[in-house]
Amino acid sequence: MGDLFVSALVVVVTAVIVAAIFIITGRKKKEKEAALMQLAQRNGWRYEKVNQAQQSGFVLRAPDWTLESMVSSDPRTSEAGSSAVAYHNNWFTDRMSSKQGLVMIGPKTPQVQLGAFGDLVLQKALRAMLGDEADQAVGLAEVKIGRGSFGERYSVWAVNQEVAEKVLTYNLENALLRWKGKELPVLKFSAAGAKITTRQGRLDSVEKVQEMVDLGTALLAG
């Protein structure tokens, strides 16, 4: 009888703890969402909440740019016993472009001087940063531009140096050096426009969103 009572008590206490965790988590999530909505309202941006079966997050729209922060899951991996969750944070504008060829700025890649093998490593690094747009990495080569402090954190790839120098302005270089996030952003300039991307976690706070917007603002300032 005593064992049954103890077991029942453990079940009840566990249920209460789990319920409390869900309540606290839900409350924090609502508080973060409210803070982002207030940020959008103060700046005249449009906030759109996304809550679909395999995708959730939000979209911010301004006259010159769009920012989306999404988390998506693949139901096929869940059926196999594992869960594949992917994060996509993208700031995009068509007000800034590179019509003379693709330019990409991203975390510094290691220098591998092993001929064809080194090229293979570089292409894999570019594909990891470009994601679904990896086919556009063909023909890119690393170019040395910017200050020494910039080169310590970032690498720049382009079809040639002249094209890269047109997009890496003084304002943009300073904004990239001020970036505080643990994950360095990836910037892509193409004929369609300019995009800033991060993939490790969602933009779930005002500070993270503001940092991405500030970088985009510097990009547009030229």
For residue range 109-138, what is the model confidence (pLDDT) as tens digits?
776 554 555 556 666 666 666 666 666 666
Residue 200 in tokens: 């490790």
* Same domain, yes or no: 8 and 104: no
Same domain, 40 and 106: no
User: Could you give the 3-state DSSP secondary structure of residue 43?
Assistant: helix
Structural domain span for residue 95: 89-221
Please report whether residue 17 resides in a domain: yes
Same domain, 201 and 105: yes
CA dihedral sign of residues 38, 41, 45, 46: positive
- The predicted structure's pLDDT at residue 53: 79
Mean pLDDT of the region 54-59: 92
Same domain, residue pair 109 and 216:
yes
Percent of the chain residues past pLDDT 90, beyond the cut: 53
Kindly state the average pLDDT of the residues 97-118: 75
**Whether residues 95 and 205 fall in one domain:** yes
Q: What is the pLDDT of residue 2?
A: 56
pLDDT of residue 54: 83
- Whether residue 58 lies inside any domain: the answer is no
Q: Pick the residue with more confidence: 201 or 2? A: 201
pTM of the model: 0.78
In a domain, 35, yes or no: yes
Can you read off the two tokens belonging to residue 48? 């759109």
Residue-wise over 26-52: b if at least 16 C-beta within 10 A, else e? eeeeeeeeeebeebbeeeebeeeeeee
For 176, the 3-state DSSP assignment is: helix
Over residues 144-151, mean pLDDT: 94
Percent of the chain with pLDDT over 70: 69
**39 plus 94 within the same structural domain:** no
pLDDT per residue as tens digits for the range 5-44: 556 555 555 555 544 454 544 556 667 789 999 999 999 9
- 71 vs 53, 149, 151, 158, 159, CA distance in Å? 11, 33, 31, 30, 32
Burial annotation 141-154 (CB, 10 A radius, 16+ → b, else e) = eebebbeeebeeeb
44 compared with 4, residue with greater pLDDT:
44
Start-end of H helices in the chain: 2-43, 75-79, 116-130, 148-151, 161-167, 170-178, 206-221
Distance CA 88, CA 144 (A): 28
**Averaged over 200-218, what is the pLDDT?**
94
Residue 74 lies in a domain: no
Q: Is the pLDDT of residue 80 over 60?
A: no
Q: What is the pLDDT of residue 221?
A: 92
Residues 115 and 37 in one domain: no
Q: What is the pLDDT of residue 19?
A: 46
Longest dimension (CA), the chain: 82
**The total number of structural domains that make up the chain:** 2
The reply to whether 68 falls in a domain is no
pLDDT of the residue at 114: 44
Question: Which of residues 159 and 3 earns the better pLDDT score?
Answer: 159
Q: Do 112 and 201 lie in a common domain?
A: yes
What number of other Cβ atoms are within 10 A of residue 83's Cβ?
A: 10
Euclidean distance between CA atoms 203 and 212, whole angstroms: 9
pLDDT at 113: 53
The sheet carrying 55-61 orders its strands as 46-51, 55-61, 66-73, 85-93, 193-198, 186-190, 103-107, 154-158, 141-143
Q: What is the pLDDT of residue 59?
A: 97
Tell me whether residue 111 is exposed, middle or buried, using C-beta atoms within 10 angstroms of its C-beta: 0 to 12, 13 to 18, 19 or more: exposed
